[in-house]
């Protein structure tokens, strides 16, 4: 087989790139290690920046998102049983949208299949060959049979554990990582959200977040030790702990019920440099990970897709390689700013095992400054709604 771009990874970033390329008449084949049902079963974040929304619309898959998504003009910060609001629209003129990543992926699959775009599922043993030459190719196994795709470029959208990043030699690749000493216990429940907006809560007992997927589906999180297991937390224990960490007004109106999904996610900050090697380009979690505090995971992947999509368009439609040559540098400039924001929010809102009394006072002062300063609120809003591409 031959195509112009092989996309390794059939999650939202790989699918979004495939659809954007399709709209520009650029051929691609998507390789996915798992099944479609498995990919759609993964529960992920659901806050989309304006840039991501615009890319979905440009890819022709924004109709259901615009009809069913929840536009959010701000968010709530709670500490010491006090709540204040950051107004995104007032500070930046731009809202965000709550629309689950599963729904994003479902919309992209539907569009890809409708357009007849090729997706190969259940691939194993993917190897990226000759990425530093003008004739890269990818081999993979399906049901014990090896296949080969010759191509012009390879987009590695296969996540932290995928093969794409590891294809770049250790002598070329630098990795930067911070592991946080806690995780997030998250639950999904078929209950109405406790508030119309997200509540980020700093509590002496640890961080909590009240979020939602729609009017009857809520997503809640509490900070927990990395040594905890999901089985350690009954539904009753989770709801009791959440109530202890959020403001009393919210706790009093919280509607609880059986959880339909429960998981614990560790938190880390991670960046690899460079994000390209020859004709191989890394996108999303293959190149970087952020803690979920700032809602940047899928959105940072979207910015990578924006830069790569435009670079490939310039190559094929304009005969220019300026975007391709500068992809890594341009993508990393924005990624490190998103990493900084997620790191800042994580430090602002969580309890750390080694925090001293001085550290806690500094954290309280930082929250008070954010509450009282128009400039600080503007900076937070600018970062939360998404820095420009």
Other beta carbons within 10 Å of 217: 16
With tokens 């990624």, the residue in question is: 335
Which residue among the candidates 136, 193, 247, 292 is catalytic per the annotation? 292
For residue 103, how far is the Cα from the chain centroid? 14
CA geometry: angle 335, 348, 83, nearest 5 deg: 120
**Is the link from the previous residue into 274 a cis peptide, with omega within 30 of 0?**
yes
* Residue 292 falls in the annotated catalytic set: yes
Cα separation, 165 vs 257, in Å, equals 41
What phi and psi, each to the nearest 5 degrees, are found at residue 186? Answer: -115, 140
Which residue among the candidates 12, 72, 140, 309 is catalytic per the annotation? 72
Which residue among the candidates 99, 180, 327, 384 is catalytic per the annotation? 384
Find the Cα–Cα–Cα–Cα dihedral 156, 158, 313, 307, rounded to 10°.
Answer: -90
Residues 69-98: b if buried by 16+ CB within 10 A, e if exposed: bbebbbbbbbbeeebeebebeebbebbbbb
Strand partners, 199: 76, 210
* Residue 72 falls in the annotated catalytic set: yes
Cα separation, 285 vs 107, in Å, equals 20
137 within 8 A of 130, measured Cβ to Cβ: yes
196 within 8 A of 255, measured Cβ to Cβ: no
Which residue among the candidates 296, 313, 315, 330 is catalytic per the annotation? 296
Q: Does an H or E element contain 290, and which?
A: none
* Residue 384 falls in the annotated catalytic set: yes
Which residue among the candidates 99, 109, 137, 200 is catalytic per the annotation? 200
Cα separation, 11 vs 106, in Å, equals 10
> Are β-strands 28-31 and 118-120 bridged in parallel, bridged antiparallel, or unpaired?
parallel
Please give the positions annotated as active site.
72, 200, 292, 296, 384
């Amino acid at each position: 087989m031959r195509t112009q771009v092989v996309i390794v990874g059939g999650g939202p970033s790989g699918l979004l790139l495939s659809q954007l390329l399709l709209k520009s008449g650029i051929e691609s084949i998507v390789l996915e290690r798992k099944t479609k049902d498995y990919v759609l079963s993964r529960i992920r974040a659901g806050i989309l920046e304006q840039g991501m929304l615009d890319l979905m619309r440009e890819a022709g898959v924004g109709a259901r998102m615009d009809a069913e998504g929840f536009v959010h003009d701000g968010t709530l910060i709670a500490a010491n049983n006090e709540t204040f609001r950051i107004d995104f629209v007032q500070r930046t003129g731009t809202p965000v949208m709550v629309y689950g990543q599963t729904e994003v992926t479902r919309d992209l699959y539907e569009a890809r299949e409708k357009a007849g775009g090729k997706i190969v599922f259940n691939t194993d043993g993917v190897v990226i060959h000759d990425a530093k030459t003008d004739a890269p190719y990818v081999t993979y196994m399906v049901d014990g049979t090896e296949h080969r795709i010759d191509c012009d470029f390879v987009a590695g959208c296969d996540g932290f554990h995928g093969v794409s990043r590891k294809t770049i030699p250790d002598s070329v690749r630098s990795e930067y990582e911070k592991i946080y000493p806690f995780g997030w216990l998250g639950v999904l429940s078929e209950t109405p959200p406790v508030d119309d907006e997200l509540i980020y809560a700093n509590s002496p007992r640890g961080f909590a977040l009240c979020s939602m997927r729609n009017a009857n589906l809520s997503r809640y999180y509490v900070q927990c030790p990395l040594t905890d297991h999901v089985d350690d937390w009954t539904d009753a224990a989770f709801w009791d702990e959440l109530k202890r960490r959020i403001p009393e007004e919210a706790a009093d109106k919280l509607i609880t019920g059986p959880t339909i999904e429960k998981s614990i996610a560790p938190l880390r900050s991670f960046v690899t440099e460079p994000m390209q090697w020859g004709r191989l380009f890394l996108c999303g979690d293959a190149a970087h990970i952020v803690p979920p505090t700032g809602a940047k995971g899928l959105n940072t992947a979207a910015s990578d897709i924006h830069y790569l999509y435009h670079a490939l368009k310039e190559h094929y439609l304009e005969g220019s390689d300026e975007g391709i040559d500068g992809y890594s540098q341009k993508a990393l400039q924005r990624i490190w700013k998103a990493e900084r924001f997620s790191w800042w929010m994580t430090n602002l809102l969580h309890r750390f095992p080694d925090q001293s009394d001085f550290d806690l006072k500094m954290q309280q002062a930082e929250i008070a400054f954010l509450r009282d300063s128009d400039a600080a609120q503007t900076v937070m809003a600018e970062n939360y709604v998404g820095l420009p591409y």
